[in-house]
Structure 1
């Protein structure tokens, strides 16, 4: 089924069952954003202590983790991680992990996608010193049954997978034992994976998460009742997105009550910049790397580099409220 048709079905289905979640009415006991943007000085500060991210690049290893939530939700997870060896090559299967403790990013693929579709972006994150774990969802991945409503179950899938990934840090004999900074975790996702990611900070808030990156996402079905400790957010959206309208992503971004930024690509569509190596992907990958270096390593210099990375080549603009 063509991507546009699938995405239209997702939007229609989520609208039918989830309109209450994005109606703007606050949920009982949930914190919501004020109608107007608060002064920057009052924006909550992220909880990651000051630190320094690795200055060089790593080789990248890749492995698979076979998981199953509740016995009927198979969740194979692809894990990319900093590895020993020379940087710059392809990801090497089961390569020895590099020395150090590395933050974790949980990545959620889009509808009819798979983690490998995003390998160019995600291996760049790992080369920068991040462990990236990407579940393949049982119903919305390519080859699944296409049940678009199952997107609403995916935040819980990610939380389950995160628990299992973090447990590797203490698992005897595991190649990632002692290599995970288990207290520094972010979530990211594209399209339906962006919905999943927003859900992890709203209706399915996972308090272990320190930051989020939302690519071409919308709050449809999961709402904008952002809750819990301050978790900086970076939204990335093409202004020519033909599937998830830019205004929809912007509306979700506007409701985030924490430090935030939005990288807008005036000529960007729904996701080609994430899937095809080129100038736009380099701007997106470098900007997101600096955001994750700041939010997960506490690297203030990385935060300072964000505007320059976003402006490179004149391909994007940055609304910076960090």
Structure 2
């Protein structure tokens, strides 16, 4: 069984190139893992808009220390690729993101081989996908969510049989209340969660007031309320979109910097996935007990 100790040493390997014909630029990934342990579960993590494999170190490092192998691709919308809102490729980037995640999942053995022989220490039957913001919508598609077209018809099924569970952090809500900017630039931000059947934790901030929707913070709870069980929702009352600084310390987008909040999100995801992947339910049960006996600054509900 993987170690759950947060003080164990970790190692990161980058860049590892994943071959994707026709993508236009190399798909690069970073792998972070504990130095010791066998039968390690995997988290494939999808970053938010404009980020890269080099962001979200506070999450990746904490998950690796909790016993996960963490694989982080750099999507095409990364600022290092120079894609702007007006780039003609932008309209289909959401599909490229999902294809990136499939390429990582399909090529996991080779990726881990290049990451120092991790393919000998992995449990390929325990793979999860996690994402933040746009990455959460990308991850949701792997878990079974679809995208509605302008007529409200669900698009194709992008789910991946190799993924058993996941976590969506600050995930896009339904698209009927998109702002004019979002309708123009992000029309694909119309998820249909009714088919997202895989177990998942949804993380939402009570002060995440997006410029993409007119509905306010509750928009980010749709992934929980509109998807079938089993699902859990971690609702953090004072959390804004970066939930304390998930992508890193002192980054420009972090308007609610709080390292303790970041640690809460990271630990909640790892605890949930240990339970959902049938490794160990102790940490998840303890977190639920802490929420029930807490001061209401964060709560967990499940269905």
Normalised by the length of structure 1, the TM-score is 0.71
Is residue 60–residue 81 contact of structure 1 (8 Å, CA) maintained in 2?
yes
Q: What SS is found at the alignment partner of 1:249?
A: helix
Q: What SS is found at the alignment partner of 2:273?
A: helix
Distance 1:173 1:287, change over 3 A: closer
> Deviation at 1:314?
4.5
Structure-1 separation of matches of 2:272 and 2:114: 32
- Of 80, 83, 107, which residue of structure 1 is paired with 2:45? 107
Question: Matches of residues 1-322 of structure 1 in structure 2 within 5 Å?
Answer: 53-57=2-6, 58-64=8-14, 65-71=16-22, 72-83=24-35, 98-138=36-76, 140-144=77-81, 145-146=83-84, 148-149=90-91, 150-168=93-111, 171=113, 174-201=116-143, 202=145, 203-218=157-172, 220-226=189-195, 231-243=198-210, 245-273=216-244, 274-275=246-247, 276=249, 278-310=259-291, 314-321=296-303
Is residue 60–residue 80 contact of structure 1 (8 Å, CA) maintained in 2?
yes
> Deviation at 1:310?
4.6
Most deviating of 311-320 and 182-191: 311-320
Q: What SS is found at the alignment partner of 1:177?
A: helix
Task: Name structure 2 gaps, 5 residues minimum.
Answer: 146-156, 174-188, 250-257
How large is the RMSD of aligned CA atoms in angstroms? Answer: 2.3
Q: What SS is found at the alignment partner of 1:304?
A: helix
Task: Report Cα offsets for 1:24-72 as digits up to 9, x if no partner.
Answer: xxxxxxxxxxxxxxxxxxxxxxxxxxxx652434211101211231242
Most deviating of 205-214 and 69-78: 69-78
Is residue 200–residue 206 contact of structure 1 (8 Å, CA) maintained in 2?
yes
What is the match of residue 178 of structure 2? none
> Deviation at 1:297?
4.3
Task: Name structure 1 gaps, 5 residues minimum.
Answer: 1-51, 84-97
Normalised by the length of structure 2, the TM-score is 0.75
Is residue 152–residue 221 contact of structure 1 (8 Å, CA) maintained in 2?
no
> Deviation at 1:266?
1.4
What is the match of residue 17 of structure 1? none
